[in-house]
Structure 1
């Protein structure tokens, strides 16, 4: 075959591949549109995520403009919500059986397991406790809007959590009370995971992204929730300590059960007072750090320059020095 013929064949092959890719994208969008119009937003999200995972969704495919041309803003918003909260493939609500203690909550001589703080379940290694699929599993063209959606969700859920005091764990039996207190801890810890994911991914995206202005408005309020949610976690740990104390004081309990209860009481009492839950499954240093950076930038931006800079940003002369 002559070189000219080979070049023509290569061009035809490339052209055919491009046509096939466009047809695949068109067919996928039609399926997504049909699912949306049928009210099956979860299925529409599954189609997009599966196509991205299989590589059949072009990397730079302009999915959103195509969808907005054929679906109502409400349906598109519902799709983005489903994408933002799409469940993690490896866990349920951010939790999995603790491998360190095999779900028993104890290690060695009846000591509470540090990884799951004695609860038998630990944060998922894949989603880090959010219960949502990772951003990398979602189509790149939609990620900025999904980041914005997750920040909005984190702020809304954080405010809702803080608006209500933890329910008192008053149950007839200590076992039921301990389970209720544990559920409180897990719920607050999941909120911390969602806050951490939202703030960290938004900070990486930066205010120069196409949703930067919206993020700039939301991030300070979201970051301000972090210390308050941590305080709420300490309240919930106090509930666990209180239940453990009641169990330790039961006169009809056998010695081994009372010993375990005393061990839990000591552990949760220390844990709720610890600085950053270091060495346990509750430690989230990135959450504190990113929230601190965001709030510090807000404070720095709010401070007047006191005449130390000129309007063009250069250093102004110090009139006192003259």
Structure 2
């Protein structure tokens, strides 16, 4: 395909037309969900689609709390759409590249942005649950909001932030909102665990373990994250995030257009056989091990290397 043809295909994926009902049932357009992942999406076959004004789960509100949540409610999907658009940009950029690798550019930002969409959804849905369901136990409310009660030595009661893993909060949310107990050994949950691990590798980079990332890694990460939403939805016959199938539909289309490419740190494949220069401006550097290029020790080492090089050249000339 030419770049213009790829661009047209991508435009159709992101702007498919005005039929919102069709968009809501897009999971049915992706046999991969049924054939590869074994999901039952029969609940999407009805025209009574979730998100429509007449659906039984569409509710009326006159609440400041819901109003505030509503004004922020599209952040999860917008972050995910942004990540998919960045993936589309990478596909167009790399389409005609003869060398199928290059420096880090698109892939880590795609990972970080898409996962932030997932985390945003967990926060939004948890807050909506707390606001709308009065019998959510207080400890669960605090857990979902990442808050804990405190008491100081004088007996004063307060609160403080207590970080909870997003996957722990998600499983508690599913149990509290839908009565769905997560099987943490299932391949779908383990897929979410692996997706989070990839995301964590870029939010908390292990500088002693340089790594590359491929198109396949990114595509797998996105699918695993979306399946974390789609799998419980299929199990319950209730769509957890309204745009999840539309997102999956875009992902599936991009998957067909993508060619394998590898992004890596510039020096990843460098394996230096001789001493080399590097920048380090700390106080107290060990000058014996890491001499400055302006030090006498460096000049001595440099002179030794020059003489050794001349010796090798003379031996080669004689040979």
Q: Would the TM-score normalized by the shorter structure come out above 0.5?
A: no
> Which one scores higher on RCO, CA 8 angstroms, separation ≥ 6?
2
Q: Structure 2-normalised TM-score?
A: 0.32
Structure with greater helix share of residues: 1
Q: Structure 1-normalised TM-score?
A: 0.32
